[in-house]
Amino acid sequence: MILGIDTSLGSAVAVVEPDGVIRSQVDSADPRGHAEVIGSLIERALAEASVTPAAITQVAAGMGPGPFTGLRVGIAAARTFALGRGIPVVPVASHDAVALELLLHTALTSDWGAPDGDDETFAVVTDARRREFAYSLYRGLDDDGLPVRLADPALAPRDDLDAILGEAGAVRRDAERIPAAMLALAAARAIAAGRAIAGADALYLRSPDVTLPHAPKRVNS
């Protein structure tokens, strides 16, 4: 049983069986209240799945791309839950979950159209704020049933994105949520294939705004 946790956009938690059966999926669209809701979302997801924490065998952590403050809440929650249970964390790029949902034609709460077959290059696009978008390019599923990511996530000014995607021949697919169930399913497929599909480091969109203070000025006596 895999627990999926992501806070790269809103906050989302799901419980999924290794064969892809979705036991529960809960989320909050608030892009800033991650720390306030993540604990209750985990409790709800477990309750709706009718499982206890002892039933969870892996935790899928959404690694972004996402803003520094929000993204680290979900990663910390995933690592803390896994540490408490003594189980592994499986890192997954958050955009991979959206791509998998599109490619499986399982847009559970959205009205997106699915890509037209495995030959279409498409971009998963999320709002990065500050008049920028984050995007990742994909084309089809590989032999393990995982989205084929053509390039690492990147950041682009809002006014330039369509031109960039046009040059890449990619169809734009905007996402307003990260499906935690698909995050967990991607982790399950990666585990079955014996593959790592994301690194252990968070995919922050940019450096945090907080900087270290400068050394104190000398005061002459």
114-160 per-position pLDDT tens digit: 555 567 899 999 998 889 999 999 999 999 999 999 988 999 999 99
Q: Is residue 43 part of a domain?
A: yes
User: Is pLDDT of 108 > 60?
Assistant: no
**Which tens digits make up the pLDDT trace of 19-47?**
899 999 999 877 677 788 999 999 999 99
Please state whether beta strands 58-62 and 2-6 pair in parallel, antiparallel, or not at all (unpaired): parallel
Tokens at residue 102, please? 């599109």
Count the residues in the chain.
221
Amino acid at site 100? L
Q: Is residue 215 part of a domain?
A: no
Q: Is residue 219 part of a domain?
A: no
Rounded to 10°, the helix 180-193/94-103 angle is 90
**How many domains would you assign to the chain?**
1
Q: Is residue 213 part of a domain?
A: no
Lowest mean pLDDT among 16-20, 29-33, 55-59: 29-33
Q: Is residue 136 part of a domain?
A: yes
Q: Report how far residue 10's alpha carbon sits from residue 37's, in angstroms, rounded to the nearest whole number.
A: 10
Q: Is residue 198 part of a domain?
A: no
Q: Is residue 220 part of a domain?
A: no
Give the closest residue to 146 by CA, choosing from 207, 194, 80: 194
Task: State the pLDDT at residue 207.
Answer: 61
Model's pTM, two decimal places?
0.87
Q: Which domain holds residue 149?
A: 2-193
CATH number at residue 155: 3.30.420.40
Highest average pLDDT, of 65-69, 107-111, 206-210, comes from 65-69
Q: Is residue 185 part of a domain?
A: yes
Q: Report how far residue 147's alpha carbon sits from residue 125's, in angstroms, rounded to the nearest whole number.
A: 15
CA atoms within 13 A on the CB side of 95: 33
